[in-house]
Amino acid sequence: MTTFLFSHPDFLNHDTGTGHPERSDRMRAIDRALAHEAYGPLQRREASLRDDDEVYITQAHSQHHLANMREIADRLGQTSTHIDGDTVMSPGTWIAARRAVGAGLDAVDAVLSGSAANAFCQVRPPGHHAEHDKAMGFCLFNNVAVAAHYARSKHGAERVAVIDFDVHHGNGTQEIFWADKNLFYGSTHQMPLFPGTGALKETGVGNIFNAPLSAGDGRDRFEQAFSERIIAPLDNFAPDVVIISAGFDAHDRDPLGGLRLFEDDFVWATEQIAGVARRRAAGRIISMLEGGYDLTGLASSVAVHVKTLMEVGS
């Protein structure tokens, strides 16, 4: 089997405006990195714009939230608007956000049907800050939470895990998963930092595992926290499928965080997750892009992450 890559040109049409860190150039930088001949074996697929996506969006989000996002999109015309201080909706955002959801659904279909060993979804806008009834932090819909619910409702996966190594805590995923013992959320992230959640004491119903790090922390502290607070409980949870919130803004170069990780650290984290997936979930992994705002750090980190997925899936 092989690794599938889901993306689409429509992700370039989500226009966040001049100077915004979550910009279309992120997609272009990744495209250039993955154009190398080493990525020839990737099975490249277009992220779907699905007729049934709203059914699955509302398994993770409220009907009110979906209707609110649609209403904002319908009244935009050719202008853009800020949902909050840093979350933008432009004329191209509604389609991009739905394709980001669609990529996750497509990846679940491919991996859980056995067509692919694993998958990477190169999408924007990101998703892990979007709560059940609220868009925030660059995010409209929580792509990984929608994919997790879809894996259960469509494919019968009983236990689904999301592992998040973005520099920012995925408050939305935590909130959506909070009271469901068969949904696991594990996160390494910098604290204090936006959005202010992710403390050790936030444990849900024993299914939430936070591993907060401090500005300046690098490989040693990251590996310890990831191993003890994330990988060990994940192994005990024995998921049927693992979804990664793959944010690369913990990279040393990133302007929005203060952690000191490098490409080798993302390789190591991917290998650790893959080890549990191999033991517990027949190797099934879906990875979805979250943050990463230095173009050089983002592109090189995505490249090694995808290469590692290709290697563990071969």
Beta bridge partners of 160: 183, 241
pTM, full prediction: 0.97
Whether the per-residue pLDDT at 77 is higher than 90: the answer is no
Q: Domain of 236: which CATH number?
A: 3.40.800.20
Angle made by CA atoms 118, 124, 125, in degrees to the nearest 5:
130
CB hemisphere CA count around 27 (13 angstroms): 21
Q: Which domain holds residue 68?
A: 3-313
Instruction: Give the Cα separation of 126 and 128 in Å (integer).
Output: 7
Locate 52 and state its tokens. 């049934």
Of 14, 128, 129, 251, which one is the catalytic site residue? 129
Q: Which helix (H) or strand (E) holds 160?
A: strand 160-164
pLDDT of residue 314: 84
Helix axes 53-60, 93-112, angle to 10 degrees: 90
Our count of domains for the chain comes to: 1
The total number of residues shown for the chain amounts to 314
Amino acid residing at 32: R
Instruction: Give the Cα separation of 51 and 63 in Å (integer).
Output: 16
Which of 74-83, 108-117, 129-138, 198-207 has the weakest average pLDDT? Answer: 74-83
Is 129 a known active-site residue?
yes
